[in-house]
Structure 1
C-alpha cells in the first residue's frame, strides 16, 4: 500500500494507494488519514471475522470502508461522518473508486444513531475515534483536525453506546485507541456490555513503548482475552518492518 501524490485540485490532493489500488481525495491543510485507519482495517481483515454488514463510525474521508471493501467484495459498509467537508470527500472517494454499490456514506451525529440507522442489524462496527480528551494536548487551529483528534463532538462512551445499538448479538467492535487510556477503555467496554476478546499493541519499533492498541470486543461476549504479538511499524529508523511492508505492499529488498 504505497501512497503517491498526484495533481492538486484547489485545496485538495488526489492521492493513490496501491495494494489495493485506491484513489483518495484529501484536504491539503485539514484532516488527512494517518497510519491508524490502515492498520485498523488490516486488523479487521486478518481477524477473518464474518461480517456482511459493517458500520464505520466517524469515517473521515472514507478510507476504512474503501480498504475493507476492496478486500471483501461481498461486504456492505456504511460510513457515518458528522463533518460536512469530510462527508463530501468520503462520498467523492467512493465514486472515484466505483464502490457505490458496496459503500454508503451518511452525514450524521453518532449520538443520534437511532435516527440514522436501525438497531441490531450490523455484524461489525469499526472505530478510529478521537482518543484525546478535550483538555489534553495541544489543540490544532484547524477545526477538522481538532474534532478528529479530540473528544469534542463525541466521547468514548458515545462510541460504545452507538456500537451496542447497531450490533447484532455476538457482533464485534473493532477499534484503535491510545494505550494510555486502555484501563478506562476496558472498564467502559464492560459497562457497555462488551467483552474485550483480542488485543494487539502497536509499537514504533522493538525498543519503544506501545503507541497505539488494536482491540476486538464482542457484544455480550464471555470472558477470555487473547493478546497477539506486537505490531512493529519500523525495523530501524525510517525502515518499515517486514509486516508493515506487506501491509503497504512494499517489496522487500
Structure 2
C-alpha cells in the first residue's frame, strides 16, 4: 500500500507526504474494533487519517478528533478529511498527544501507536517519529488515554504480541484492563502477527478471538474478505 494515493469505497487517501503509508494494521484496527454507537472518538497518531475516516464511515453520529505530531502528515490528513463525505465531523490537532487537551471525555479512543523503543533507526526522521516510541511512550499513551476516556468508554490499540504484553502491564497501572483481544495470523499455521486489544475501566474476563488473513494457497481468507468488504474496492 505504498502508492501516493489509495482509493476506498467512500473516500480517497492521498499519502505522498506521509512517512507511514496506509498499512494492514490501520485497516484491521479501523474495521475490527467494536463500540456501541460512540458519539465522540479520539484517534491518536492519525497519520494519513485513514482510521478516522473509516470510523466516520462506520459510526454516522460520531464526531472525531484526530491527533498527529508530524506537521506534513497532519496537513495531508486534514486535506483528506476536507474532501471526504465526513468533513464536518472530523477535526485535527497537530502536535504531541501529551499536549492535547479536551474538556470532554471520549466514548472511543483508538491508536495504531509507534512500538520500536530499541529498534535500529533509519536516516528518515519522519519515519522514525512514526515508528519509535521516543515521541510517544507506552506510559504516556496509557496515562493520557486514561484521562480522556469516559468511564464506560473503550480504548482500542493494535500491537505485535510482545509489545501488547508490555502495554497491557502499563495500562493496568492506570486502571485500563484488556477486555477483548483479536489475535491476527497471516496463515493458520503461523504464529500471532498482531493483537488488537480493547481496554476499558471494567476489569472483566478477557475474550480472545482469532482472525486468519490468508488461506494456505495465499488467497485472502473469506473472513478477511468480509472484514474488507465495507471499505476496499473489489470486496
Same fold (TM over 0.5): yes
Matched residue SS, 2:143: helix
Residues 5-24 of structure 1: pairs in structure 2 closer than 5 A: 13-18=4-9, 21-24=10-13
Task: Answer yes or no: is 1:35 the counterpart of 2:5.
Answer: no
Show structure 2 runs of 5+ residues with no match. Answer: none
Structure 1 residue 200 and structure 2 residue 182: aligned?
A: yes
Q: 1:163 aligns with which of 117, 142, 145?
A: 145
Q: Is the 8 A contact 1:245 1:251 kept in 2?
A: no
CA-to-aligned-CA distance 1:149-202 (integer Å, 9 cap, x gap): 111211111111111111111211011011012332221111011111001111
> 1:75 is matched with which residue?
62
Cα separation, 2, equivalents of 1:82 and 1:238: 37
1:14 is displaced (CA, Å) by: 2.9
Change (3 A) 1:142 1:122: same
Distance 2:88 2:184 in 1: 33
Distance 1:48 1:107 in 2: 26
User: Aligned partners of 1:29 and 1:42: how far apart in 2?
Assistant: 21
Secondary structure at the aligned position of 1:197 is classed as strand
1:131 aligned counterpart, secondary structure: coil
- Give the drift of 1:248: 2.4
Distance between the aligned counterparts of 1:157 and 1:95, measured in 2? 33
Structure 1 unaligned regions, length at least 5:
6-12
In 1: Cα distance, 2:22 partner to 2:128 partner: 13
Count of aligned residue pairs for this structure pair: 232
Residue 121 of structure 1: how far off its partner (Å): 1.8
Aligned alpha-carbon RMSD (Å): 2.0
Task: Tell me if structure 1 keeps the 8 A contact 2:37–2:61.
Answer: no
How far 1:48 moved relative to its partner?
4.0
Aligned to 1:224: 205
CA distance 1:237–1:144, shift in 2 (3 Å): farther
8 Å contact kept, 1:124–1:167: yes
CA distance in 2 between counterparts of 1:160 and 1:29 reads 25
Alignment of 1:191 with 2:173, yes or no, is yes
Taking a change above 3 Å as real, the CA distance of residues 74 and 237 of structure 1, as seen in their structure-2 partners, is same
Could you tell which deviates more after superposition, 99-108 or 59-68? 99-108
Tell whether the 8 Å contact from 2:31 to 2:228 is kept in structure 1 after alignment.
Answer: no
